[in-house]
Amino acid sequence: MESLITESSSTLPPAQQNGLQSVLPAASSTFPGPGWFFRRYFPLPMIGLSLLGDTNSPFQPFPEVSPPIQVKRFLAYQIRLPMTGACLLSGLTLAILSPPRISPGSWTNSLFIMAGYLLLILGIVLRIWSILHIQKRKSVSLVMTGPYSLCRNPLYVGTLLIVTGYLCMVQSATLTGFFIPVVLLYAWGVVPAEETVLRNRHGHEYAAYCRNVPRWRPRFSQIRPDLFRSTCWSWSSAVRREVECGGWWMLVAVLVHLLCSYRMASWWRHPLMWP
């Protein structure tokens, strides 16, 4: 066929020869084979062969672009809320139905209550400060300002402070023991899953951020005045929801405090003897 093309094109003027050569393939090695014919006129059978796994079929589909990793596909992220609720409610029920280990009205009990409210307030403030920086940028860009320049998970640290405040109010080793699996789930499951998504999304930028900023322990040496001046004080829907959550945290703390006070009364029944 190549000789026929050469002979037929040699009888044409040079300008037309150039135009013909631009349309026809330059060599037989690049000339469309039988796969081109089947793909052009019989696409459905070729698609069926490809779907059945025939790698030698003339039709080869375009490679699909893999979607970005979603944190919801991780099992630890899916079970985090049910497991947290089940552990805390179970531990609180056992603690309330058991006698207190610290005598009511003592200085030790008062110190635990004050420490609980202090940790609760610190946790709420830290979460609101974190939301002021992250707001709608969570899924758009990597946030490295404000509390995110001190540690990589200030929201979780704030939640840990809040729950620790509740533990100080309840003063129960049983509730503390039920809370340990939740901490392990977040430390070894939820947070690594979120970091995998961020590493996939931001690449080397997030890797450098992980090398400079610790995961949990805040870098108190980095606290300076301009750290707070960089906060965006905008009343967005995310900030409003977090402030409302802070109010609910405080309401739950008051209810837990009252419940623990009734638990220490003489008329309260203690059918269990959990520590």
CA distance 15 to 53: 47
- What proportion of the chain, given as a percentage, has pLDDT over 70? 70
SS3 257: helix
Question: Is pLDDT at 105 greater than 90 in this prediction?
Answer: no
Residue 37's pLDDT band (boundaries 50, 70, 90)? very low
CA distance 166 to 194: 26
pLDDT at 143: 84
> Which helix or strand (DSSP H or E) is residue 178 part of?
helix 173-185
Question: Is pLDDT at 23 greater than 60 in this prediction?
Answer: no
Question: Is the CB of residue 88 less than 8 Å from the CB of residue 82?
Answer: no
Question: Is pLDDT at 250 greater than 90 in this prediction?
Answer: yes
> Which among 13-27, 80-94, 103-117, 210-224 has the top mean pLDDT?
80-94
Question: Is the CB of residue 70 less than 8 Å from the CB of residue 197?
Answer: yes
When pLDDT is averaged across residues 104-124 and rounded to a whole number, the result is 91
Tell me the average pLDDT of the chain. 76
Nearest to 170 by CA among 271, 56, 83, 89: 89
Question: Is the CB of residue 231 less than 8 Å from the CB of residue 132?
Answer: yes
> Which helix or strand (DSSP H or E) is residue 93 part of?
helix 75-96
Of residues 204 and 14, more confidence is placed in 204
Please tell me the pTM assigned to this model.
0.70
CA distance 216 to 238: 23
Question: Is pLDDT at 73 greater than 80 in this prediction?
Answer: yes
CA distance 162 to 272: 27
pLDDT at 106: 82
Q: Residue 137 CA to chain centroid, in angstroms?
A: 13
Question: Is the CB of residue 180 less than 8 Å from the CB of residue 130?
Answer: no
* 259-to-74, 87, 97, 104, 194 alpha-carbon distances in Å: 37, 18, 11, 13, 36
Question: Is pLDDT at 24 greater than 60 in this prediction?
Answer: no
Side chain identity at residue 106, one-letter code: S
Question: Is pLDDT at 22 greater than 60 in this prediction?
Answer: no
Which token pair is 71? 């944190």
- Report CA dihedral (110, 112, 115, 117) to the nearest 10 degrees: -80
> Which among 141-155, 171-185, 224-238 has the top mean pLDDT?
171-185
Q: Residue 45 CA to chain centroid, in angstroms?
A: 43
pLDDT tens across 192-223, in order?
999 998 888 888 999 999 999 999 888 877 77
Nearest to 130 by CA among 231, 229, 205, 226: 231
Question: Is the CB of residue 101 less than 8 Å from the CB of residue 275?
Answer: yes
Side chain identity at residue 1, one-letter code: M
Q: Which of 122-126, 222-226, 251-255 has the lowest mean pLDDT?
A: 222-226
pLDDT at 20: 44
When pLDDT is averaged across residues 123-142 and rounded to a whole number, the result is 83
